[in-house]
């Protein structure tokens, strides 16, 4: 374990924790602008977290210890995910701990934890949210794996850092398979992060919610951790997208100069990604819940197509 590796690892984790609410704030701000609204400002998610951490938690009488534990499990899982995705540099100490398949597993763990917590309380909405979350998840995960596999086939490794090094730092090549994988990944990103058209993060209608329905009973620090974890998840997904599809600018091992450039480049990419996501979310309406399997099925199909193209063209 190199000193540089440890340094980049810690720096990247801290940056992920700090930048995740920023990205969400930027996304919401772009949405507001696109709807001709002023918006609450980029710093709004930070304000919300601050507010929630200062409140006293109210916990349902029927809650078991599981209900209290889940926010921490969720937050921990998302921190781990953000640690192993190379967003600043490819030399990460934790990267050997988990590869692309394990990454999908971490997301699955978080999903199961929050679904159990949702059902733990025994309200109708919790059960409804958990059920819908599983409906989306059981198709989103394989689609995500297909995308990661396509990239793994190119670099002949399931390690995320190796994938990024291959894509970013070897001689430039155009991979048609990655185009299909890119479409699939975008769809998975929207579905997994409770964004439109699968879920509506701004909805106040409890009957239509997926993610929000599961966390209706949470308050104060628990809710803050969950909200924070959700923004880290979104951030992790976007940085996976950046690492796989536009990896240029991510620093290599022991590249101090590269590190200095990596952060501004990352922020620039995040700004573009946030604006793009906001545009998509402004243009589409929310689909009926039973369109979600169709939507995820399409994503899966694109993922498989990407792999097929790779085998056909050898690239």
Partner 1 sequence: MDFQGSVKTDCIAPIWTVEAEGEDWINIAGSCREQGGRLVSIWGSEAGEGFFVQAAYVFPEGMLIARHPAVEGQYASLSDLFPCAGRMQRAVYDMLGIDHGGADKRPWLSHGMGPSFPLRKNPLPDQVLSEKDYPFVAVEGEGVHEVAVGPVHAGIIEPGHFRFQVVGEKVLRLEERLGYKHKGIEKQFEGMTVQEGAGLAGRISGDSTVAYSWTYAMAVESVCGVKPPERASFLRGLFLERERIANHLADLGALGNDAGFAFGLSQFSSLREDILRLNKQIFGHRLLMDLVVPGGVSRDLDMDAKRRIFEECEIMERRVRDLREIYMDHTGLQDRFLTTGRIAPELAAKLGLAGLAGRASRNAVDLRVDHPYSPYDRLEVVMATHHGGDVAARVSVRFDEIAESLRLTGLMLENLPEGQISCELPRMSGCGAGWVEGFRGEIVVFLEIEKGRVRRAHAHDPSWQNWPALEFAVIGNIVPDFPLINKSFNLSYSGHDL
Cis peptide before 292 (omega within 30 of 0): no
Closest to partner 1 by CB, 102 vs 289, is 289
CA 65 centroid distance within chain: 27
How many C-beta atoms lie closer than 10 Å to residue 109's C-beta? 17
Among 143-151, 173-181, 219-227, 287-295, the segment contacting partner 1 (CB under 8 A): 287-295
Cβ 32 to partner 1 shortest distance, Å? 9
91 and 10 in contact (C-beta within 8 Å)? no
Q: Structure tokens of 106?
A: 């971490």
Among 56-64, 180-188, 205-213, 255-263, the segment contacting partner 1 (CB under 8 A): 205-213
| Per-residue binder mask for partner 1 (CB under 8 A), 110-129, x = binder | --------------x---x-
Cβ 287 to partner 1 shortest distance, Å? 7
Cβ burial, residue 54 (10 Å; 0-12/13-18/19+): exposed
| Per-residue binder mask for partner 1 (CB under 8 A), 30-69, x = binder | -x--xxxx--------------------------------
What is the Cα–Cα distance from 157 to 114, expressed in whole angstroms? 31
* Selected binder of partner 1 within 5, 71, 126, 197 (CB under 8 A): 197
Beta-bridged to residue 89, according to DSSP, are: 251
* Selected binder of partner 1 within 200, 230, 231, 239 (CB under 8 A): 200
Closest to partner 1 by CB, 157 vs 287, is 287
Cβ 230 to partner 1 shortest distance, Å? 17
Q: Structure tokens of 203?
A: 């909805």
Closest to partner 1 by CB, 2 vs 35, is 35
Residue 155 within binding range of partner 1, rule CB under 8 A: no
| Per-residue binder mask for partner 1 (CB under 8 A), 66-105, x = binder | ----------------------------------------
* Selected binder of partner 1 within 253, 282, 301, 315 (CB under 8 A): 282
What's the DSSP call for residue 288?
A: P
26 membership: H or E segment, kind and range: helix 3-34
136-166 in b/e form (b: 16+ CB < 10 A) is bbebbbbbbbbbbbbbbbbbebbbbbbbbbb
Cβ 286 to partner 1 shortest distance, Å? 3
230 and 146 in contact (C-beta within 8 Å)? no
Nearest CA among 244, 274, 269, 80 for reference residue 147:
244
What is the Cα–Cα distance from 9 to 92, expressed in whole angstroms? 5
* Selected binder of partner 1 within 69, 216, 220, 301 (CB under 8 A): 216
Where on the chain is the footprint of partner 1 (CB under 8 A)? 31, 34-37, 124, 128, 196-197, 200, 202-208, 216, 282, 284-291
């Amino acid at each position: 374990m190199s000193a540089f590796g440890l340094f980049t690892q810690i720096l990247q984790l801290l940056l992920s924790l700090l930048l995740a609410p920023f990205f969400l704030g930027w996304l919401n701000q772009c949405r507001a602008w696109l709807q001709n609204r002023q918006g609450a400002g980029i710093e709004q998610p930070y304000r919300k977290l601050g507010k929630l951490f200062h409140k006293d938690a109210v916990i349902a009488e029927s809650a078991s210890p599981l209900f209290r534990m889940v926010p921490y499990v969720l937050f921990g899982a998302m921190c781990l995910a953000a640690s192993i995705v190379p967003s600043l540099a490819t030399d990460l100490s934790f990267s050997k701990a988990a590869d692309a398949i394990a990454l999908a597993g971490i997301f699955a763990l978080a999903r199961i934890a929050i679904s159990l917590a949702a059902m733990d309380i025994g309200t109708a909405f919790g059960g409804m949210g958990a059920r819908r979350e599983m409906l989306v998840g059981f198709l989103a995960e394989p689609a995500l794996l297909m995308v990661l596999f396509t990239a793994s086939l190119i670099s002949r490794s399931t390690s995320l850092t190796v994938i990024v090094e291959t894509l970013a730092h070897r001689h430039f090549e155009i991979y048609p398979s990655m185009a299909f994988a890119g479409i699939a990944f975008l769809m998975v990103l929207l579905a997994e992060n409770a964004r439109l058209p699968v879920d509506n993060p701004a909805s106040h209608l409890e009957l239509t919610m997926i993610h929000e329905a599961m966390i209706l009973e949470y308050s104060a620090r628990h809710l803050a951790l969950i909200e924070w974890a959700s923004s880290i998840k979104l951030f992790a997904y976007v940085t996976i997208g950046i690492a796989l599809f536009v990896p240029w600018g991510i620093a290599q091992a022991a590249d101090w100069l590269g590190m200095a450039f990596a952060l501004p480049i990352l922020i620039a990419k995040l700004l573009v990604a946030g604006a793009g996501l906001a545009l998509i979310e402004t243009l589409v309406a929310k689909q009926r819940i039973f369109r979600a399997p169709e939507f995820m099925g399409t994503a899966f199909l694109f993922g498989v197509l990407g792999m097929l193209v790779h085998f056909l063209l050898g690239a």
